[in-house]
């Protein structure tokens, strides 16, 4: 399919016009989801080139969930090297991918990158930890300060704590030492 350039970025020619009832083309209206799909496509292309440079295998999956593009790389060998210790390489790759999307689209991206299912596994662990901590605080009445976490990790813990009545959580401190504090109340 031929590519055209719209707003400085390549587009499929079919995506730039939509036929009207009488068959004459009119400009396509971009919805929020269309923009997220486009972000996912840009990110997928960027990550595919990165995997080629590294000579790594992996399948790239694109999805849209909760108002953000989700890009996953699975199925390859050596992918754990792209996750790194406690996800630090994954976080860096996510930021680089977001910058690549921003450079191409002109829009700031909130896309989420997962590699080898690490982020989903981490989400499950953190949810369990947040629920357990919330129940302990509810029973003891004493606040609990958790170890420093990334923004992703803190959000998962806050969401888990919010599911337990009688406790609340908030983040305290400065990056990269920002922590979740769980306390009785609310």
pLDDT digits (tens, 9 = 90+) for 102-149: 999 999 999 999 999 999 999 999 999 999 999 999 999 999 999 999
Is 9's pLDDT higher than 50?
no
- In eight-state DSSP terms, residue 75 is S
- Tell me if 10 sits within 8 A of 3, measured CB to CB: yes
pLDDT digits (tens, 9 = 90+) for 18-53: 333 344 443 344 578 899 999 999 999 999 999 999
137, 130, 149, 62: CA torsion to nearest 10: -160
Enumerate the H helices of 29-85 as residue ranges: 32-54
Mean pLDDT of 56-83: 93
Separation of alpha carbons 71 and 94, rounded Å: 9
Class for the domain spanning 31-116: alpha beta
Domain ranges of the chain: 31-116, 120-184
Whole-model pTM: value is 0.72
Q: Do domains 31-116 and 120-184 have the same CATH topology?
A: no
pLDDT > 90: percent of the chain: 75
Query: Which fold does the domain 120-184 belong to in CATH?
Result: Ribosomal Protein S8; Chain: A, domain 1 (3.30.1370)
Question: Which residues are CB-neighbours of 132 under 8 A, at least 6 positions away?
Answer: none
Separation of alpha carbons 92 and 122, rounded Å: 16
pLDDT attached to residue 41: 96
CA distances from 177 to 98, 146, 148, 184 (A): 23, 11, 5, 23
């Amino acid at each position: 399919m031929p590519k055209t350039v719209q707003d400085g970025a390549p587009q499929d020619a079919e995506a730039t016009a939509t036929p009207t009832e009488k068959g004459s083309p009119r400009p396509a209206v971009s919805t929020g989801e269309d923009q997220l799909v486009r972000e996912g496509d840009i990110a997928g292309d960027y990550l595919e080139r990165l995997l080629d440079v590294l000579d790594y295998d992996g399948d790239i999956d694109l999805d849209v969930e909760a108002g953000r593009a989700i890009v996953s790389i699975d199925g390859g060998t050596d992918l754990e090297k792209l996750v790194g210790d406690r996800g630090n390489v994954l976080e860096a790759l996510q930021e680089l991918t977001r910058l690549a999307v921003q450079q191409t689209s002109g829009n700031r991206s909130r896309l989420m990158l997962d590699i080898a299912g690490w982020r989903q596994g981490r989400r499950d662990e953190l949810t369990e930890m947040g629920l357990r901590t919330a129940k302990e605080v509810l029973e003891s009445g004493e606040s609990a300060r958790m170890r420093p976490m990334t923004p992703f990790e803190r959000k998962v813990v806050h969401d888990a704590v919010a599911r337990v009545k009688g406790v609340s959580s908030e983040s305290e401190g400065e990056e990269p030492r920002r922590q979740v504090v769980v306390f009785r109340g609310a």
